[in-house]
A and B are shown apart, each in its own frame.
Chain A
Protein backbone atom coordinates (compact mmCIF):
# COMPACT_ATOMS: atom_id res chain seq x y z
CA UNK A 1 0.00 0.00 0.00
CA UNK A 2 1.20 3.54 -0.55
CA UNK A 3 1.63 4.03 3.19
CA UNK A 4 3.77 0.90 3.51
CA UNK A 5 6.88 2.98 2.98
CA UNK A 6 6.21 4.98 6.13
CA UNK A 7 5.79 1.88 8.29
CA UNK A 8 8.65 0.53 10.46
CA UNK A 9 10.65 -2.30 8.94
CA UNK A 10 10.57 -5.46 11.02
CA UNK A 11 13.39 -7.98 10.56
CA UNK A 12 13.91 -11.56 11.65
CA UNK A 13 16.85 -13.84 10.88
CA UNK A 14 18.96 -16.61 12.35
CA UNK A 15 22.13 -14.54 12.15
CA UNK A 16 23.36 -11.14 11.05
CA UNK A 17 26.63 -9.37 10.29
CA UNK A 18 26.85 -5.59 10.40
CA UNK A 19 29.73 -4.15 8.40
CA UNK A 20 30.54 -0.79 9.86
CA UNK A 21 32.61 0.63 6.99
CA UNK A 22 30.27 -0.26 4.13
CA UNK A 23 27.02 0.17 6.09
CA UNK A 24 25.83 -3.15 4.68
CA UNK A 25 24.16 -5.66 7.01
CA UNK A 26 23.95 -9.30 5.97
CA UNK A 27 21.04 -11.27 7.38
CA UNK A 28 21.10 -15.04 6.92
CA UNK A 29 18.80 -17.96 7.74
CA UNK A 30 14.97 -17.74 7.49
CA UNK A 31 15.09 -14.04 6.82
CA UNK A 32 11.71 -12.29 7.09
CA UNK A 33 11.39 -8.55 6.48
CA UNK A 34 7.98 -6.91 6.86
CA UNK A 35 6.99 -3.31 6.16
CA UNK A 36 3.27 -2.68 6.36
CA UNK A 37 1.66 -5.12 3.88
CA UNK A 38 4.94 -5.75 2.08
CA UNK A 39 6.79 -8.90 3.06
CA UNK A 40 10.11 -10.33 1.94
CA UNK A 41 11.22 -13.91 2.71
CA UNK A 42 14.64 -15.19 1.71
CA UNK A 43 17.63 -17.28 2.76
CA UNK A 44 19.97 -14.30 2.72
CA UNK A 45 19.42 -10.56 2.51
CA UNK A 46 21.95 -7.76 2.15
CA UNK A 47 20.53 -4.56 3.61
CA UNK A 48 22.15 -1.37 2.32
CA UNK A 49 21.66 1.80 4.29
CA UNK A 50 22.81 5.40 4.02
CA UNK A 51 22.46 7.86 6.92
CA UNK A 52 20.51 5.22 8.79
CA UNK A 53 18.03 4.91 5.92
CA UNK A 54 17.51 1.55 4.17
CA UNK A 55 18.18 2.20 0.48
CA UNK A 56 18.29 -1.31 -0.96
CA UNK A 57 17.52 -4.96 -0.07
CA UNK A 58 19.24 -7.67 -2.11
CA UNK A 59 17.58 -11.00 -1.38
CA UNK A 60 18.70 -14.48 -2.38
CA UNK A 61 16.68 -17.61 -1.94
CA UNK A 62 15.35 -20.75 -3.48
CA UNK A 63 13.33 -18.82 -4.32
CA UNK A 64 13.32 -15.48 -2.56
CA UNK A 65 9.72 -14.23 -2.25
CA UNK A 66 8.19 -10.80 -2.01
CA UNK A 67 4.57 -9.80 -1.74
CA UNK A 68 2.74 -6.51 -1.45
CA UNK A 69 -0.77 -5.11 -1.84
CA UNK A 70 -0.71 -2.26 -4.32
CA UNK A 71 -4.09 -0.74 -3.54
CA UNK A 72 -6.61 -1.26 -0.77
CA UNK A 73 -8.99 -4.13 -1.47
CA UNK A 74 -6.78 -5.66 -4.14
CA UNK A 75 -5.23 -9.11 -3.92
CA UNK A 76 -1.52 -9.14 -3.08
CA UNK A 77 1.03 -9.36 -5.89
CA UNK A 78 3.57 -12.15 -5.34
CA UNK A 79 7.03 -12.03 -6.82
CA UNK A 80 9.67 -14.71 -6.59
CA UNK A 81 13.03 -15.52 -8.07
CA UNK A 82 16.56 -16.64 -7.28
CA UNK A 83 17.48 -13.02 -6.64
CA UNK A 84 15.26 -10.07 -5.79
CA UNK A 85 16.92 -6.68 -5.84
CA UNK A 86 14.59 -4.18 -4.17
CA UNK A 87 15.80 -0.64 -4.75
CA UNK A 88 13.91 1.44 -2.25
CA UNK A 89 14.95 4.79 -3.70
CA UNK A 90 14.15 3.88 -7.30
CA UNK A 91 10.99 2.16 -6.11
CA UNK A 92 11.52 -0.94 -8.20
CA UNK A 93 12.40 -4.59 -7.80
CA UNK A 94 14.53 -6.51 -10.27
CA UNK A 95 13.97 -10.25 -10.29
CA UNK A 96 16.60 -12.43 -11.87
CA UNK A 97 16.66 -16.21 -12.29
CA UNK A 98 13.38 -18.16 -12.45
CA UNK A 99 11.44 -14.98 -12.04
CA UNK A 100 7.70 -15.22 -11.52
CA UNK A 101 5.00 -12.66 -10.80
CA UNK A 102 1.60 -13.83 -9.62
CA UNK A 103 -1.32 -11.46 -9.66
CA UNK A 104 -4.60 -13.18 -8.89
CA UNK A 105 -4.77 -16.05 -11.42
CA UNK A 106 -2.34 -14.42 -13.87
CA UNK A 107 1.31 -15.50 -13.95
CA UNK A 108 4.28 -13.96 -15.66
CA UNK A 109 7.46 -16.01 -15.98
CA UNK A 110 10.81 -14.72 -17.17
CA UNK A 111 14.45 -14.84 -16.23
CA UNK A 112 14.51 -11.12 -15.79
CA UNK A 113 11.60 -9.00 -14.56
CA UNK A 114 11.55 -5.38 -13.51
CA UNK A 115 8.60 -4.58 -11.28
CA UNK A 116 7.57 -1.11 -10.14
CA UNK A 117 6.87 -1.12 -6.42
CA UNK A 118 4.45 1.77 -6.53
CA UNK A 119 2.59 1.28 -9.84
CA UNK A 120 2.94 -2.48 -10.24
CA UNK A 121 4.14 -1.99 -13.81
CA UNK A 122 6.07 -4.98 -15.15
CA UNK A 123 8.84 -5.27 -17.70
CA UNK A 124 9.99 -8.77 -18.57
CA UNK A 125 12.85 -9.49 -20.87
CA UNK A 126 14.11 -12.73 -22.30
CA UNK A 127 17.58 -13.45 -21.12
CA UNK A 128 20.53 -13.77 -23.44
CA UNK A 129 20.48 -17.30 -24.93
CA UNK A 130 24.27 -17.36 -24.80
CA UNK A 131 24.35 -16.85 -21.06
CA UNK A 132 21.13 -18.69 -20.45
CA UNK A 133 20.70 -21.45 -23.06
CA UNK A 134 17.68 -22.88 -21.30
CA UNK A 135 14.18 -21.68 -21.70
CA UNK A 136 14.73 -17.95 -21.79
CA UNK A 137 11.53 -16.67 -23.30
CA UNK A 138 8.89 -14.66 -21.44
CA UNK A 139 5.68 -16.52 -20.60
CA UNK A 140 2.48 -14.76 -19.61
CA UNK A 141 -0.57 -16.72 -18.51
CA UNK A 142 -3.67 -14.53 -18.39
CA UNK A 143 -6.82 -16.15 -17.13
CA UNK A 144 -9.86 -14.72 -18.89
CA UNK A 145 -12.46 -13.23 -16.64
CA UNK A 146 -15.43 -15.64 -16.90
CA UNK A 147 -18.56 -13.49 -16.97
CA UNK A 148 -21.51 -14.59 -14.93
CA UNK A 149 -24.02 -16.13 -17.49
CA UNK A 150 -27.11 -14.76 -15.73
CA UNK A 151 -25.98 -11.19 -16.35
CA UNK A 152 -25.92 -11.88 -20.18
CA UNK A 153 -29.58 -12.76 -20.67
CA UNK A 154 -31.59 -9.56 -21.37
CA UNK A 155 -35.05 -9.37 -19.86
CA UNK A 156 -37.76 -10.06 -22.55
CA UNK A 157 -39.50 -6.79 -23.33
Chain B
Protein backbone atom coordinates (compact mmCIF):
# COMPACT_ATOMS: atom_id res chain seq x y z
CA UNK B 1 0.00 0.00 0.00
CA UNK B 2 1.49 3.36 -1.07
CA UNK B 3 2.47 5.84 1.65
CA UNK B 4 -0.16 8.35 0.49
CA UNK B 5 -2.91 5.72 0.83
CA UNK B 6 -1.93 5.13 4.47
CA UNK B 7 -2.09 8.85 5.23
CA UNK B 8 -5.52 9.12 3.60
CA UNK B 9 -6.79 6.11 5.61
CA UNK B 10 -5.38 7.59 8.83
CA UNK B 11 -7.12 10.92 8.11
CA UNK B 12 -10.39 9.09 7.47
CA UNK B 13 -10.20 7.12 10.78
CA UNK B 14 -9.08 10.14 12.90
CA UNK B 15 -12.62 11.55 13.37
CA UNK B 16 -13.83 8.12 14.48
CA UNK B 17 -11.14 7.96 17.13
CA UNK B 18 -11.82 11.50 18.31
CA UNK B 19 -15.57 10.78 18.43
CA UNK B 20 -15.02 7.64 20.47
CA UNK B 21 -12.86 9.51 22.97
CA UNK B 22 -15.44 12.27 23.27
CA UNK B 23 -18.24 9.75 23.87
CA UNK B 24 -16.27 8.04 26.61
CA UNK B 25 -15.55 11.38 28.25
CA UNK B 26 -19.23 12.44 27.91
CA UNK B 27 -20.47 9.15 29.39
CA UNK B 28 -18.13 9.41 32.29
CA UNK B 29 -19.28 12.98 33.06
CA UNK B 30 -20.91 12.59 36.49
CA UNK B 31 -23.98 14.60 37.47
CA UNK B 32 -22.41 15.12 40.92
CA UNK B 33 -21.05 18.61 40.60
CA UNK B 34 -19.95 17.96 37.02
CA UNK B 35 -16.93 16.19 38.35
CA UNK B 36 -15.23 13.99 35.91
CA UNK B 37 -15.57 10.44 37.04
CA UNK B 38 -12.70 8.65 35.51
CA UNK B 39 -12.46 4.90 35.24
CA UNK B 40 -10.05 4.94 38.21
CA UNK B 41 -12.82 6.31 40.58
CA UNK B 42 -14.17 3.37 42.57
CA UNK B 43 -17.04 3.53 45.07
CA UNK B 44 -15.35 4.76 48.21
CA UNK B 45 -13.78 1.55 49.60
CA UNK B 46 -11.08 3.21 51.58
CA UNK B 47 -11.91 5.74 54.32
CA UNK B 48 -10.64 9.21 53.95
CA UNK B 49 -10.05 9.37 57.70
CA UNK B 50 -9.34 6.65 60.31
CA UNK B 51 -9.17 7.20 64.04
CA UNK B 52 -7.67 4.51 66.28
CA UNK B 53 -8.63 4.36 69.98
CA UNK B 54 -10.36 7.68 69.73
CA UNK B 55 -12.36 9.59 72.33
CA UNK B 56 -14.58 12.46 71.33
CA UNK B 57 -17.18 14.74 72.94
CA UNK B 58 -20.21 15.77 70.91
CA UNK B 59 -22.14 18.93 71.68
CA UNK B 60 -25.49 20.21 70.46
CA UNK B 61 -26.14 23.66 69.04
CA UNK B 62 -26.60 25.19 72.49
CA UNK B 63 -23.25 23.89 73.62
CA UNK B 64 -24.52 21.11 75.90
CA UNK B 65 -22.54 17.89 75.88
CA UNK B 66 -24.70 15.31 74.12
CA UNK B 67 -22.54 12.28 74.37
CA UNK B 68 -19.01 11.10 74.85
CA UNK B 69 -17.89 8.54 72.25
CA UNK B 70 -14.99 6.16 72.65
CA UNK B 71 -14.20 3.62 69.91
CA UNK B 72 -11.48 1.20 69.00
CA UNK B 73 -11.63 2.50 65.45
CA UNK B 74 -13.63 5.01 63.45
CA UNK B 75 -13.48 4.96 59.65
CA UNK B 76 -14.97 8.00 57.99
CA UNK B 77 -16.14 7.90 54.37
CA UNK B 78 -16.29 11.38 52.89
CA UNK B 79 -18.65 10.60 50.01
CA UNK B 80 -21.49 9.36 52.21
CA UNK B 81 -20.44 11.34 55.27
CA UNK B 82 -20.67 8.06 57.18
CA UNK B 83 -18.45 6.85 59.98
CA UNK B 84 -18.13 3.14 60.69
CA UNK B 85 -17.39 2.44 64.32
CA UNK B 86 -15.62 -0.57 65.79
CA UNK B 87 -16.44 -1.22 69.45
CA UNK B 88 -18.22 2.09 70.03
CA UNK B 89 -18.98 3.11 73.61
CA UNK B 90 -21.28 6.05 74.14
CA UNK B 91 -22.03 7.82 77.40
CA UNK B 92 -24.89 10.29 77.79
CA UNK B 93 -25.27 12.13 81.09
CA UNK B 94 -28.66 13.59 82.04
CA UNK B 95 -29.75 15.17 85.35
CA UNK B 96 -30.17 12.14 87.63
CA UNK B 97 -29.65 9.62 84.83
CA UNK B 98 -26.56 8.13 83.20
CA UNK B 99 -26.83 6.24 79.91
CA UNK B 100 -24.09 3.97 78.67
CA UNK B 101 -24.46 2.24 75.26
CA UNK B 102 -21.96 -0.12 73.67
CA UNK B 103 -21.80 -2.65 70.84
CA UNK B 104 -19.35 -4.47 68.57
CA UNK B 105 -19.99 -2.29 65.51
CA UNK B 106 -21.84 0.85 64.64
CA UNK B 107 -22.49 3.49 62.02
CA UNK B 108 -22.79 7.20 62.54
CA UNK B 109 -24.63 9.08 59.81
CA UNK B 110 -23.69 12.70 60.37
CA UNK B 111 -26.19 13.99 57.78
CA UNK B 112 -29.23 12.39 59.40
CA UNK B 113 -28.00 12.69 63.02
CA UNK B 114 -28.36 8.97 63.56
CA UNK B 115 -26.05 6.49 65.25
CA UNK B 116 -26.90 2.84 64.68
CA UNK B 117 -25.29 0.32 66.97
CA UNK B 118 -25.14 -3.31 65.86
CA UNK B 119 -24.03 -6.69 67.26
CA UNK B 120 -24.38 -7.32 70.99
CA UNK B 121 -25.84 -3.93 71.75
CA UNK B 122 -26.13 -3.12 75.44
CA UNK B 123 -27.52 0.04 76.97
CA UNK B 124 -27.39 0.59 80.71
CA UNK B 125 -29.42 3.29 82.47
CA UNK B 126 -28.26 4.15 85.99
CA UNK B 127 -30.34 6.39 88.23
CA UNK B 128 -29.01 8.72 90.91
CA UNK B 129 -29.70 6.11 93.59
CA UNK B 130 -27.75 3.58 91.52
CA UNK B 131 -30.76 1.59 90.25
CA UNK B 132 -29.68 -0.07 87.01
CA UNK B 133 -31.80 -0.99 84.00
CA UNK B 134 -29.99 -2.98 81.28
CA UNK B 135 -31.37 -3.39 77.78
CA UNK B 136 -29.86 -5.86 75.32
CA UNK B 137 -30.62 -6.22 71.61
CA UNK B 138 -29.06 -6.93 68.25
CA UNK B 139 -29.48 -3.38 67.02
CA UNK B 140 -30.32 0.07 68.34
CA UNK B 141 -30.65 3.49 66.72
CA UNK B 142 -29.74 6.58 68.72
CA UNK B 143 -30.93 10.09 67.76
CA UNK B 144 -28.58 12.37 69.76
CA UNK B 145 -30.26 15.63 68.77
CA UNK B 146 -33.68 14.32 69.73
CA UNK B 147 -32.35 12.64 72.85
CA UNK B 148 -33.89 9.21 72.37
CA UNK B 149 -33.05 5.71 71.13
CA UNK B 150 -35.23 2.97 69.72
CA UNK B 151 -35.39 -0.28 67.83
CA UNK B 152 -37.99 -2.74 66.51
CA UNK B 153 -36.36 -6.02 67.40
CA UNK B 154 -36.43 -8.40 70.34
CA UNK B 155 -35.04 -6.57 73.32
CA UNK B 156 -34.37 -8.00 76.77
CA UNK B 157 -34.60 -5.69 79.77
CA UNK B 158 -33.11 -6.52 83.16
CA UNK B 159 -33.50 -4.58 86.34
CA UNK B 160 -32.78 -5.55 89.95
CA UNK B 161 -35.42 -8.25 90.12
CA UNK B 162 -37.27 -8.18 86.85
CA UNK B 163 -36.73 -9.60 83.41
CA UNK B 164 -38.80 -8.33 80.49
CA UNK B 165 -38.85 -9.18 76.79
CA UNK B 166 -40.37 -6.89 74.22
CA UNK B 167 -40.43 -6.57 70.45
CA UNK B 168 -39.19 -3.06 69.93
CA UNK B 169 -38.68 -0.32 72.47
CA UNK B 170 -38.09 3.39 72.63
CA UNK B 171 -36.43 5.21 75.49
CA UNK B 172 -36.11 8.92 76.21
CA UNK B 173 -32.72 9.90 77.57
CA UNK B 174 -33.97 12.93 79.45
CA UNK B 175 -37.03 11.56 81.23
CA UNK B 176 -35.89 7.95 81.34
CA UNK B 177 -39.34 6.85 80.21
CA UNK B 178 -39.34 3.67 78.17
CA UNK B 179 -42.03 2.42 75.80
CA UNK B 180 -42.15 -1.31 75.16
CA UNK B 181 -43.70 -1.53 71.73
CA UNK B 182 -45.27 -5.01 71.53
CA UNK B 183 -45.31 -8.60 72.78
CA UNK B 184 -44.36 -7.65 76.30
CA UNK B 185 -43.54 -10.70 78.50
CA UNK B 186 -41.98 -10.29 81.90
CA UNK B 187 -41.19 -11.87 85.26
CA UNK B 188 -40.79 -9.95 88.47
CA UNK B 189 -39.04 -11.77 91.30
CA UNK B 190 -40.46 -10.96 94.71
CA UNK B 191 -37.77 -10.15 97.24
CA UNK B 192 -37.99 -12.59 100.14
Contact = CB atoms under 8 A, between A and B. Distances in A.
A14 B183 CA distance: 5
B20 interface: no
A9 B187 contact: yes
A41 to B, nearest CB: 15
A6 interface: yes
Chain B contact residues (Cβ within 8 angstroms of A): what range? 20 to 34
14 contacts: A5-B190, A6-B192, A7-B190, A9-B187, A11-B164, A11-B186, A14-B184, A15-B182, A16-B180, A16-B184, A19-B175, A20-B97, A35-B190, A53-B191
A9 B187 CA distance: 6
A18 interface: yes
Nearest to A7: B190
A5 B159 CA distance: 20
Interface in A1-52: 5-21, 27, 35, 52
Given A16-B180, A17-B180, A53-B190, 10 more contacts: A8-B187, A8-B190, A10-B187, A11-B184, A14-B183, A15-B180, A18-B177, A19-B177, A20-B97, A54-B190
Interface of A: 5-21, 27, 35, 52-54
B185 A14 contact: no
Instruction: Name, among A11, A14, A16, the residue most crowded by chain B CB atoms within 10 Å (CB to CB).
Output: A16
A35 B190 CA distance: 10
A18 B157 CA distance: 11
Interface of B: 97, 125, 127, 131, 159-162, 164, 166, 175-192
A6 B189 CA distance: 8
Contacts of A13: 184
Contacts of B176: 20-21
Contacts of B161: 52
A24 to B, nearest CB: 10
For the complex of A and B, the 3 pairs showing the least CB-CB separation, nearest first, are: A20-B176, A16-B180, A9-B188
A12 B183 CA distance: 8
A15 to B, nearest CB: 6
Contact of B160 (A17, A21, A52): A52
Nearest to A88: B190
A31 to B, nearest CB: 9
Contacts of A52: 131, 159-162, 191
A9 B190 contact: yes
A10 B185 CA distance: 8
A9 B184 CA distance: 14
B185 A18 contact: no
A64 to B, nearest CB: 18
A54 B191 CA distance: 10
A69 to B, nearest CB: 18
B157 to A, nearest CB: 8
A6 B190 contact: yes
